[in-house]
Amino acid sequence: MHSSLSSFSSTFTPNPNLLQTLHPLLLFFPSNSNSKLKHKTKTLSFHKPSSSIANTIIRILRVIPDWADLVKERGVQQKRNLYDHQTWVEHRSSLRHVRHFLSSLSSRVVLSLVPPVIFFTTFAAIIAGYNSVVLAQWLPGFFPVLRASSLSYQLTAPALALLLVFRTEEAYARFVEGKKAWTKVIAGVHDFARVVMASVENNGEALSVKMALLNYIMAFPVVLKCHVLYDSDVRGDLQHLLEVDDLEVVVESKHPPRCIIEFISQSIRLLKLEDSRRDVLESKISCFHEGIGICEQLLSIPIPLSYTYLTSRFLVLWHLTLPIILWDDCHWIVVPATFISAASLFCIEEVGVLIEEPFPMLALDDLCRKAQKDIQEVIATENLIRAQLVAKRNSYSNEHSQNGWPTPS
């Protein structure tokens, strides 16, 4: 029995199709148990012509969506401007509707809607064409006309309206919260700079530390702006505010806003101030920490994704069935009706998605430049006023004697 077993041999050769099927499963086995099978499958190459065709079709179908996304992202990165009196006059002009309509083809919101609107309008034309062919009896009789009652739409329309309203209102609430956070940060920068100029003397070593501290304070909103905006140039925005060695530390830091705060804290410690004044200066830093917390929360936590997914799926199903629902009443008018519905409802949803991330919608560059310009103007004004007051004091002391009587001329 033993000799018969020892002389047994097999001429089994692995089936290449079987190896192809089992190849993903071999990864779960130990390497010493499937090394031979891996060796055999390593030399096999399986040509799949259908995969290349599918990839080509996918690339063709993605041309318009990729173009629309590129236009939208380019518009998101576009710089916003603060409004002045002249801008408000143009904003409320009676010709604004004509101007807004003529600029539709350059609107990133409108251009980003090209893929869904084209798809659903084409789908409506296909449904209308199919129903027309069936009604003309060009197809066998078992092909049905795609029609349905509009009662389901009358019942679900309020639900869709509530979803869109909730989605847009929540996005706008985030926009308002981001705007309030930045308003508080800019106000804190002005207040901090005012306290520094009032608390620190303009003499000796304290003057150099004071000017460096003011530069760090002006740099904070710029760094925070670069922190919350995608693809920002921290080095380019700070090169006129910080010295080269300080700029390198900030750029190499993992969290530039907190690095600037550390520069501010260390500068305050270098100043020879009374404890009460130092405490007042350090208390102003809390506004910066609060601004960082709110901005990072808005940036990292979106509206609950369940609402976003539900709204998107509801809109898609609504417009896929819209040509069938409207066929009996509209016939070929379902094509422009679907176009208008898709352009309107998807535009509302797109606006909500855009303002959900509030920072690209705010004029942060103008806010930072304005804060820097205001502080520099206050510094120049402070020096001018101090020089004038010193000149008046000297003039007053020269014109009057020490006992308060005028000096004889």
108's tokens: 């990133």
Q: What is the pLDDT of residues 351-407, one digit of tens each?
A: 999 999 999 999 999 999 999 999 888 888 877 887 787 777 777 666 655 555 555
pLDDT for residue 258: 94
Give, in degrees to the nearest 5, the angle at Cα 283 between 195 and 189.
Answer: 50
Q: What is the pLDDT of residue 48?
A: 47
- Portion of the chain with pLDDT greater than 70, in percent: 84
Confidence of residue 16 (pLDDT cuts 50, 70, 90): very low
Average pLDDT of 277-301? 92
**Encoding tokens for residue 32?**
């010493």
User: Which of 400 and 22 is assigned the larger pLDDT?
Assistant: 400
Domain boundaries, the chain: 52-83+106-175+309-360, 180-301
Q: Residues 216, 256: contact at Cβ < 8 Å? A: no
pLDDT higher than threshold 70 for residue 17: no
Tell me the mean pLDDT in the region 288-309.
Answer: 93
3-class secondary structure per residue, the chain: CHHHHHCCCCCCCCCHHHHHHHHHHHHHCCHHHHHHHHHHHHCCCCCCHHHHHHHHHHHHHCHHHHHHHHHHHHHHCCCCCCCCHHHHHHHCCCCHHHHHHHCHHHCHHHHHCHHHHHHHHHHHHHHHHHHHHHHCCCCCCCCCCCCCCCHHHHHHHHHHHHHHHHHHHHHHHHHHHHHHHHHHHHHHHHHHHHHHHHHCCCCHHHHHHHHHHHHHHHHHHHHHHHHHCCCCCHHHHHCCCCCHHHHHHHHHCCCHHHHHHHHHHHHHHHCCCCHHHHHHHHHCHHHHHHHHHHHHHHHHCCCCHHHHHHHHHHHHHHHHHHHHHHHHHHHHHHHHHHHHHHHHHHHHHHHHHHHHCCHHHCCHHHHHHHHHHHHHHHHHHHHHHHHHHHHHHHHHHHHECCCCCECCC
Question: For residues 378 and 197, is the Cβ–Cβ distance under 8 A?
Answer: yes
For tokens 């869109």, name the residue.
Answer: 164
Token pair for 52: 């290349």
Res. 62: pLDDT tops 90:
no
Say what the pTM is: 0.76
Is the model's pLDDT at 289 over the cut of 90? yes
How far apart are the C-alpha atoms of 30 and 241, rounded to whole Å? 59
Planar angle of CA 94, 85, 228, nearest 5 degrees: 105
- Residue 243 pLDDT more than 60? yes
pLDDT above 90 (res 128): yes
Residues 6+ apart with CB under 8 A from 153: 318, 322, 325
The Cα–Cα gap between 31 and 48 comes to 28
List all residues 6 or more positions away from 196 whose beta carbon is below 8 Å from its beta carbon. 210, 213, 214, 217, 281
Residue whose tokens read 């969290």: 255
User: Which of 33-37, 106-110, 136-140 shows the lowest mean pLDDT across its residues?
Assistant: 33-37
For 310-329, write each residue's pLDDT tens digit. 999 999 999 999 999 999 88
